[in-house]
Chain A
């Protein structure tokens, strides 16, 4: 079955450094990948979308890549801040509706 896999271990980094989160997909070829942020007790919030024909997308301090050869997306937060601490979810979609979500990676940015 189609799967989206993210590192389940928390990522701890120092404020000001670049955080890099990994998303791998197996058993299918998503037409696009989305990244969401989820804070404790709240619903996910959309951050970025990247299509399979795009190599890289940027939004302010965020950058996402899509490598169809490696079947992987990387999500970067540059100049990280403690306020960036949250769980980040990767999701893959084929058509315009259904998403398959990964388990999320918790990011902790220490001051």
Chain B
């Protein structure tokens, strides 16, 4: 298995632009998580899905952030408009089922907003 796939690996954009991050979870996994990691705040959960349905988005910073999971093999995290404080590494993770525990992380997308 290729593991969790994220694209792009690096993104540099200007303040005010729309940014879309993409994730392909491990085939057969039905829980998907989006995290953000910064030096100051560590690894923070933004939102998670079970069976493509958003379950908890309380970690989404504000309305500029939105996430979708149109099918079991694809999810997007969108920031519109982006701001310099959104600069971070964004990770997608998946796990096999609601009752399993181990999360498998992707390589992350390093976002820089200038």
Contact = CB atoms under 8 A, between A and B. Distances in A.
- In terms of DSSP, what is the predominant structure of the interface of chain B? strand
A96 B56 contact: no
Contacts of A41: 107-108
Interface in A92-111: 93, 96-104
A61 interface: no
Interface of B: 4, 31, 42-45, 48, 50, 55-56, 91, 93, 98-108
B42 A46 contact: no
A103 B42 CA distance: 5
B71 to A, nearest CB: 20
Interface of A: 32, 34, 36, 41-46, 49, 89, 93, 96-104
